[in-house]
Amino acid sequence: MHIYGPSSVHGPHSIAPSQASRPARAAEVTESVRPRDEVEISQMGQLLESLSNVSEMRFERIQQIRTQIANGTYDTEARLNVALDRLLDEIA
């Protein structure tokens, strides 16, 4: 090991750190370049979501109609006329 005296020191250095502002800039650049995560739900997924959110009232109404159909009291003349009118409107 060789020691050459004080002249081998590379001169005066500043007291303030020269890299104080660099980490903040690096963080800003890193955040702007960082990719963002995105989630897209397909139409089928949205449909399944809406089907899974059927309320209890809707379920009870379906059960009432099923019971009426089983008893033969659901199909009335008025309902059949409404259904026929809607069918004819759709066809025409």
Where do the domains of the chain lie?
Answer: 55-91
Q: Looking at the whole model, is its pTM more than 0.85?
A: no
Residue 5's pLDDT band, with cuts at 50, 70 and 90, is low
Residue 90 has pLDDT above 70, yes or no: yes
Q: What is the pLDDT of residue 2?
A: 62
CA separation for the pair 39, 71 (Å, rounded): 48
pLDDT on residue 35: 83
Q: Please give the distance of CA 81 from its chain centroid, rounded to a whole number.
A: 44
Q: What is the pLDDT of residues 19-62, one digit of tens each?
A: 555 555 555 555 667 788 898 989 998 888 887 777 766 888 88
CA distance to 38, 47, 49, 51, per residue, from 43 (Å)? 16, 6, 10, 12
Rounded Cα gap, residues 47 and 78, in angstroms: 32
- What's the pLDDT tens digit per position in 50-86? 877 777 668 888 899 999 999 988 888 998 999 999 9
